[in-house]
Amino acid sequence: MSTPIDARAAGVRDRLRGGLTAAALTPMTGAGEVDLDVAESYFRRLAASGADALAVLAHTGRGPLLPAQVRAGVISRARRAGVPVVVGVGGARGGGASSAVEDARMAAELGADAVLVFPEPGDRVALHEAVWSAAGLPMIAFDLYTNPCPPATLRRILSLPGVAGLKTALLSDAMACQETIALTLEAGRLAITGEDRMFAASLLWGAQAALVGIAAASVGTTAAVLRAYEGADLRGFEKAAARLDRLAAATFTAPMEGYVQRMAWLAAAEGLVPEEYAHDPHGPALPDGERAKVLAA
C-alpha cells in the first residue's frame, strides 16, 4: 500500500522516473587535487552523452572523503550542467547523522534537487527524519551491499513523506534486490537500480530508473539498456544488456573499491576528463595490466 508523500518528493520521483542518473566521478589528480573547471566540463559531457541527471559526491565521487569547500564547489558546478542534481550526504568515517545533516544543509543552500542518504550505523529511520527536518530536500534512500537494511526498517523509511525513492545496490544478492524493489513499489516510491552487475535483471524485476557508477563513463552503453527496455525492443535490450554486462565485468570486480579508478581510466580514454585528473587516490592499488583490460572491454 502506498504511503503519503510530500509534494516536493513526489516531484523528484516523477522527474527521475525512466531516467539515467550518472553517479559521477570527482576528477582528481594522483595527489587528490580537484580542479572545478575540469569537474564542470566533465559534468556537462555526462549530460550531453545521455545522463538525465547527475549524482555527485556519492561513493563514485568519493563524496564522504572530500572537504566541505570542495564539496560545495562540486555541487555548484554540477548545477550548471542543466540536469537535476542529487547529492550524496553522510558516509564520513565517524560522522554519523550529524555529517549527513550538515551535508544536506549545504546541498539545499546550493540548490540541489535531492540527496542520496548514505547508510549510517544506528537508527536509520531517525537519520532520514533528521536530514529531512534539517534540509527539506527530497531524499533517496540507499540499500547498500556493505551495510544492507532489514526489510522492516526499509518499510519505515519508505513511509516517510520526504523519501522520493530508494536505490538498491546489493551487488550479488538477487533475492534481496527483488524484495527491496517490491517494497519500494508497494510504498509508491521510485525504485532505482544501482545494480551495475544486475542492471538488466533489476529492470525486469521492476526498477523504474537507474543511479549507477558505471555511467560515470560510457554513458551511452548504460542508457541504451534503459531505452531499449522502455521501447519494448526485446532484441535490442538483449544486445545492449550484453554490452553493458561485459563492461561491468571488467570494472565492477575484485577489488570492488577499485571500480572508481577503473571508471576514471575509461573517462580519460573517452576524453571526458584529462589524463592527469583520472586518478582515485582513495582506492586500492590495482595490478599491472588492469587498465588495458578495462579499456579492451
What is the reported pLDDT for 233? 85
What is the reported pLDDT for 148? 93
Grid cell at residue 220: 551511452
Grid cell at residue 226: 534503459
Length of the chain: 297
pTM across the whole model: 0.96
* Dist CA 49 CA 255 (whole Å): 28
**Three-state secondary structure along the chain?**
CCCCCCHHHHHHHHHHCCCEEEECCCCECCCCCCCHHHHHHHHHHHHHCCCCEEEECCCCCCHHHCCHHHHHHHHHHHHHHCCCEEEEECCCCCCHHHHHHHHHHHHHHCCCCEEEECCCCCCHHHHHHHHHHHHCCCEEEEEECCECCCHHHHHHHHCCCCEEEEEEECCCCHHHHHHHHHHHHHCCCEEEECCCCCHHHHHHCCCCEEEEHHHHCCHHHHHHHHHHHHCCCHHHHHHHHHHHHHHHHHHCCCCHHHHHHHHHHHHHHCCCCCHHHECCCCCCCCCCCHHHHHHHC
**Prior bond of 27 cis (ω within 30°):** no
Q: Once rounded to an integer, what is the mean pLDDT over residues 280-286?
A: 96
Q: What is the largest CA-CA distance in the chain?
A: 52
The predicted-structure confidence for 141-192, as pLDDT tens digits, reads as follows: 999 998 899 999 999 999 999 999 999 999 999 999 999 999 999 999 999 9
| pLDDT of 279 higher than 90 | yes
* Amino acid identity for residue 213 in this structure: G
Structural domain spans, the chain: 7-296
| pLDDT of 92 higher than 90 | no
The predicted-structure confidence for 235-263, as pLDDT tens digits, reads as follows: 999 999 999 999 999 999 999 999 999 99
What is the reported pLDDT for 1? 67
* Dist CA 260 CA 251 (whole Å): 8
pLDDT confidence bin for 93, thresholds 50/70/90: low
Out of 3.30.230.20, 3.40.50.960, 3.20.20.70, 1.10.1040.10, select the CATH number for domain 7-296: 3.20.20.70
The predicted-structure confidence for 29-45, as pLDDT tens digits, reads as follows: 999 999 999 999 999 99
pLDDT confidence bin for 225, thresholds 50/70/90: very high
